[in-house]
Each structure stands twice: as structure tokens, then as C-alpha cells.
Amino acid sequence: MDLRRWDERYRSQSEIGPPTPLVTEIAGGLKSGKALDLACGAGRNTLWLAEHGWKVTAVDGSRAAIGLLTARNPEIDARVANLEKHEYTIEPNSWDLIAICYYLQRDLFEQAKRGVMPGGVIIAIVHIPGPGEGLTPFRLAPGELAAYFRDFEVLHSYEGPPRDPVHHNRVAQIAARRPAE
């Protein structure tokens, strides 16, 4: 879906749903620090992280989504940026946590891996095909997400139905830590 359509969707939305369980489970077990939420949407995960002591920067290409987020919490460092066009630069060695939830942009994984500090954690969730379904630009192949993180310490890896009330299609999930140097 292009950003114009995301904007339309967020303009007709007023509620911000609950955070995705993987974020609360993984981040809830970490010492809070600096977090980057990429393609944050209206910020359901950003808001939870901020409420739990994280200093969060949130990035999304939809101005309407960022508007919903900042209306709820004006203190958040929230940016409108098209990630495909590299309008936001992930500074290397800068983040304790990077979340990429329900957004697929393959080249973002390597950028995020460089962006976390040694010991920092990446949480990623993407759709994968269900039984009888094929690949689309919005789905990774089974096994592909885990393969991006072979050189990280895997804290959690899962493929199957989501445990997220907002989503129904199959997902790949990963939480992985950059090895300490």
C-alpha cells in the first residue's frame, strides 16, 4: 500500500490499538534505553515503550499517522520520513532497541543491524505466505527473516499465526541481539 493510502487510512482513525505482544514481552525484559520504532504507524508500540521508560524516536511515512501519535504524546520524537527513499538515516551504533513491526523493506534489516549498539536488540515482524499463498512484495519467504539475523544472538524466532489482535495473516517474528564486541 502506498503512503497516500496509508495517510487516508490514518485520517479516518482516531483510536490507537494495544501494543503488539512481541514488543511488550521482549522490551519488557530489557533495561530501558534509546529505542527506534521504524514504520511506527500511529505509534501503539512507541507509546508503550515511552510509558515504560524508553526514550523513543518514531518514524513513519504517513503524516496522519505521526499526527495521531503526537496528539497522544507530544513529547515523542516523531518524524515523517519515507524510509524507502532513505529520508531517515539510522545512525550506526546508536540504539538499544530497534522495532520494525509489520513493515517490509529488505534493505532496512542491515541498516537496523548496524544501528543497534553492541548488545542492542532488534524486534522485527513481517508477513509470510499462509498455506497455498504465494510471495508478494509485502511477504517474506519462510525462513528469510531468521536468515538476516544469523550473525546475531537470536532471543526469539517464530513463524505462524500472529498473536496480535490487529493482524490475522501468518507472520515471521524475530528478536535478536547484536553480539557484544
Using the 8-state DSSP alphabet, how is residue 139 labeled?
Answer: B
Determine what percent of the chain falls in helix, strand and coil, rounding each to the nearest 5.
25, 30, 45
Cβ neighbours of residue 28 under 8 Å, at least 6 residues apart? 52
Which residue's CB is nearer to ligand SAM, number 44 or number 113?
44
Confirm if 37 and 99 have CB atoms less than 8 A apart.
Answer: yes
Q: How far is the CB of 11 from ligand SAM (least distance, A)?
A: 12
Strand order in the sheet with 116-127: 77-80, 55-60, 34-38, 95-101, 116-127, 171-177, 153-160
Smallest gap from residue 181 Cβ to ligand SAM (A): 29
Nearer to ligand SAM, 23 or 176 (CB): 23
CB atoms within 10 A of CB 81: 16
CB of residue 163 to ligand SAM, shortest distance in Å: 13
Cβ nearer to ligand SAM, comparing 15 with 181: 15
Task: Kindly list the residues in this chain that would bind ligand SAM in the complex (CB under 6 A).
Answer: 3, 6, 20, 39-41, 44-45, 60-62, 65, 82-84, 101-103
| Identity of the residue, 9 or 34, whose beta carbon is nearer to ligand SAM in the bound complex | 9
- Please report how close the Cβ of residue 84 comes to ligand SAM at its closest, in angstroms: 4
Which residue's beta carbon is nearest to the bound ligand SAM?
A: 41
Nearer to ligand SAM, 133 or 153 (CB): 133
Tell me which residue of 167, 170, 6, 171 sits closest to 83, measured CA to CA. 6
Q: Minimum CB separation from ligand SAM for residue 169, in Å?
A: 11
